Every structure is written in structure tokens, then in C-alpha cells.
Amino acid sequence: MRAIVIDEFGGPDSLVYTELPEPEPLDGHVVIEIKAFGLNHAELHMRRGEWAEAARVSGIECVGLVKSCPGGEFPVGAKVAALMGGLGRTVNGSYAEYTRSPVSNVAIIESDLPWPELAAIPETFATAWTCLFRNLEITPGRTLVVRGATSAFGRAAIGLAVNAGVRVIGTSRNRERFASLEGLGVERTELEGSDLAERIKEAGQIDAVLDLVGNSTILDSLAMLRRGGRACLAGWLGGLDPITDFNPLLDMASGVCLTFFGSFVFGKPGFPLSDVPLQAIAEQVAAGRLKAKPSRVFPFEAIREAHRLMETGGADGKMVVSVTKGV
């Protein structure tokens, strides 16, 4: 099968095309014929060697058809999505024509959406949904701040929250992108910065913050919460540098909650992928109630170009790769 491997840690040119054997059937796993896969910032860090683990074949999500499933959990030919469960980290991932995923990390998605549009859903929406409705426990009428809102993750979170009756404030470092957020239903936008808690008029009254900027802003996010408010750290758009001299006694207001979510826990006890309503989300996308159309669709042969664009911050939404030849 065709596959893209990390030849060595480094820039986009370290992604190399090669031929690998197709994955063999294995009990408790599903072999998937990949039709398309989404691109994620995590794969940049894996390619650079900045992540704790990186498989030779990168890629943490995909959509495609079941080729084999020895345990019978999924019928052959079923349309499915797969994400994490070690994909791209501890086992070969989705940058290939076939992959093998644990059954716990596979979900059926019956949809007439084109493969590239379906590929924009799994990782981004599953993670956003879990952050909002499990970690943050957001409910209708609450006020949510999404930091890093113009990212694909941020836009998915806004759509899910607005549909749930949540009042959403979105942030961006680029004022030119404010209009795109307003089109998603945010109540208003704020310019991103490490002093947002000092500038936002609802300081001390915010119910929840979904922080996708990362370690550089999470303490500021905690500072804007009301008593009992929650902040969920779930992205590192601002880089992976750790928080310097973090002391909860001095840096956190009493009564606020800090939580973290990473999609690598999907499939583990407490975070079953079956908990996420991916089928319902795909139906809402098809009906136009959620926006998930990819910003760019790349052919399989253009992975380096896609990584370069993602690395320079030019994605402007979710980018996907079509594995089908000629697309």
C-alpha cells in the first residue's frame, strides 16, 4: 500500500512516500481502507519529534470503509471513522491507504457527505464535544469563552455550543478573522492576548473557558472565571513551552476548576468513543446546522504542501487529505 512515513524528525520534507505491507487482521481491531483523513497540529509536533511518541506513519484520524474485523464488531464495508487509540503515536496511523485501529476507537458514520467533508468531523468534533459537555459540563444560558476560536477546533466548539444555547465569546489574534466568527453565531469577538482577563467586561463572571492557545494563556483564563467556573486546556496554538513557576496557591483563584483534555484518551475507560454522538453530528453537518466544510482538500501526493501551510498558520480551518487517486 502507499504510505507516508516520517523518515527523520524535522520539516515537511521529512515526510517520505513509500510502499508498506497492508496491516493484517487482528482480534479486537478493525482494518480500514482509508478514503480521507484530517490534518492536525499534533502531527506537526510528531513530525518534529516534539511529542512523547511518534509512529513511523503519522495521522491520528481517518474515515473509510471496514476491510476486516475479526471480532465482528463492525461489518465489512461499513462506513466508519477512527481516531487516536494510538494511531500515529504508538501504531502506524492514517497517512496511508490502510490502517488498523482498536475497535474501541472506531465508530460507524452513515452519511452521504463526500469523503473529504466527512473527514473534517471525527477528531475535531469529537474532541470539541467532549471538552464542552463532559469536561466543562456546559449548559444552555451559560457564558463560554473560546480562545483560539478561528482554528478548526475552535470553530467546531463554537458551532456545538451555539446549537446548545450557550452564549459564546470567541477570540482571535487576527482582527481580519472576526467576521468569520460572527458568522458562526458568537455573541462577540475579543482580540486574543495574555491580558484578556483584564480587558473582558465579564471578568469574574465567566462560566467556562475552552483554551486552545495553551500554556501561555491558561492562567489568564482561570483569572476571568466566576466561583465554580471551569477552564479546559485542550490545545497549544501558542506553543508547547511549559508554564513557568506555576503555583496553584498563588496563581488560581479559590473555587475555580482547571481541567485538561487530550483526544489520546478516547477508547479508554471513562472516555469511550461511543459516548460521542458522531452520527448525530454528521447529520447536523449534512443539514447545514453545523459547519464542517474543509478549508482545503489536498491530494495524497501533496502532504508536504499541506504541512507547510499548516505550519505557517495558513490553514484557516480544517484541512483534509483525500487518499483516493486523482482527487
Q: Are 91 and 60 part of one and the same domain?
A: yes
- Residue 324 pLDDT: 84
Q: Are 218 and 317 part of one and the same domain?
A: no
pLDDT digits (tens, 9 = 90+) for 47-103: 999 877 899 999 999 999 999 999 999 999 999 999 998 999 999 999 999 999 999
Roughly how many angstroms between the first and final C-alpha of the chain, as a whole number? 17
Q: Are 180 and 230 part of one and the same domain?
A: yes
- Alpha-carbon distance 148 to 130, whole Å? 17
pLDDT digits (tens, 9 = 90+) for 233-248: 998 888 778 888 888 8
Q: Are 111 and 136 part of one and the same domain?
A: no
Which among 56, 102, 54 has a CA at the least distance from the CA of 80?
A: 102
- Residue 58 belongs to a domain with what CATH number? 3.90.180.10
- Alpha-carbon distance 2 to 21, whole Å? 9
Distances (CA, A) of 242 to 2, 172, 216, 239, 318: 37, 21, 8, 9, 26
- Residue 315 pLDDT: 82
From 239, 261, 283, the end of a domain falls on 261
Instruction: Considering only residues 216 and 178, tell me which one the structure prediction assigns the higher pLDDT.
Output: 216
Q: Are 242 and 145 part of one and the same domain?
A: yes
Is the pLDDT at 326 greater than 60? The verdict is no
CA dihedral 46, 246, 136, 271 (to 10 degrees): 50
Q: Is residue 327 part of a domain?
A: no
pLDDT digits (tens, 9 = 90+) for 242-282: 888 888 888 888 899 999 999 989 998 888 898 999 999 99
Is the pLDDT at 112 greater than 70? The verdict is yes
Q: Are 96 and 149 part of one and the same domain?
A: no
Is the pLDDT at 36 greater than 70? The verdict is yes
pLDDT band with cut points at 50, 70 and 90 for residue 185: very high
- Residue 322 pLDDT: 97
- Alpha-carbon distance 153 to 211, whole Å? 11
Q: What is the mean pLDDT of residues 102-117?
A: 96
- Residue 160 belongs to a domain with what CATH number? 3.40.50.720
Residue with cell 506555576: 246
Residue 307 CB contacts under 8 Å (≥ 6 apart), including other chains:
12, 15, 39, 43, 44, 47
Instruction: Considering only residues 313 and 110, tell me which one the structure prediction assigns the higher pLDDT.
Output: 110
CA dihedral 224, 222, 207, 272 (to 10 degrees): 160
| β-bridge partners, 63 | 36, 81
Which among 192, 168, 189 has a CA at the least distance from the CA of 180?
A: 189
Which run of H or of E encompasses 79? strand 79-83
Is the pLDDT at 327 greater than 70? The verdict is no
Range of the domain at 15: 2-120+265-322
From 210, 235, 261, the end of a domain falls on 261
pTM of the model: 0.93
**Total structural domains within the chain:** 2
Residue 107, classed as helix, strand or coil, is strand
Q: Are 135 and 256 part of one and the same domain?
A: yes
CB-based contact 122:61 (threshold 8 Å): yes
In this structure, how many other beta carbons lie within 10 angstroms of the beta carbon of residue 140? 9
